[in-house]
């Protein structure tokens, strides 16, 4: 609950900013901070509850992903350009082989 209260408070502060770019930067900053907090929490969960089976752990992560991460990630990540995709393909081909580069390319086109 503290997490959500902080996000609400920050969002109210951000909405008062005049500059849209400043608002966007603050939203990205909050998103990154919250993603780091969630990641830390997941590692702690894994460390403190090793008795969880993989399906139980995956179930927890899926709920967090669906409810939080999927909504925060688009706010803080930039879209890859065609040039970025081409460069990633070239690097994949160079280090992992042409077949892996093709698989990656097909997967990225589906997204």
Q: Do residues 60 and 86 both lie within one domain?
A: no
Q: Do residues 28 and 63 both lie within one domain?
A: yes
| C-alpha dist (Å) from residue 46 to 36, 67, 72, 107 | 15, 19, 22, 29
Give the integer Cα–Cα distance in Å for 54 and 1: 27
Whether the Cβ atoms of residue 97 and residue 89 lie closer than 8 Å to each other: no
What pLDDT, on a 0 to 100 scale, did the predictor assign at position 88? 84
Q: Do residues 73 and 107 both lie within one domain?
A: no
pTM (predicted TM-score): 0.43
Give the integer Cα–Cα distance in Å for 104 and 101: 5
Q: Do residues 60 and 7 both lie within one domain?
A: yes
pLDDT in tens, 15-69: 777 777 777 787 778 777 777 877 787 778 778 887 777 788 778 778 877 776 6
What pLDDT, on a 0 to 100 scale, did the predictor assign at position 77? 60
Q: Do residues 86 and 71 both lie within one domain?
A: no
**Domain region containing 86:** 80-111
Nearest to 101 by CA among 92, 110, 109: 92
Whether the Cβ atoms of residue 7 and residue 34 lie closer than 8 Å to each other: yes
Interval 92-105 mean pLDDT: 85
Q: Do residues 69 and 92 both lie within one domain?
A: no
What pLDDT, on a 0 to 100 scale, did the predictor assign at position 26? 79
Q: Do residues 85 and 69 both lie within one domain?
A: no
Interval 79-95 mean pLDDT: 82
Q: Do residues 86 and 105 both lie within one domain?
A: yes
């Amino acid at each position: 609950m503290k997490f959500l209260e902080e996000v609400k408070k920050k969002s109210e502060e951000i909405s008062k900013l005049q500059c849209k770019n400043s608002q966007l930067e603050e939203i990205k900053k909050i998103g990154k901070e919250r993603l780091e907090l969630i990641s830390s929490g997941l590692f702690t969960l894994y460390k403190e509850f090793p008795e969880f089976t993989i399906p139980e752990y995956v179930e927890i992560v899926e709920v967090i992903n669906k409810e939080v991460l999927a909504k925060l990630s688009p706010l803080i990540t930039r879209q890859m350009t065609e040039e970025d995709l081409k460069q990633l393909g070239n690097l994949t081909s160079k280090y992992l082989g042409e077949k892996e580069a093709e698989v990656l390319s097909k997967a990225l086109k589906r997204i």
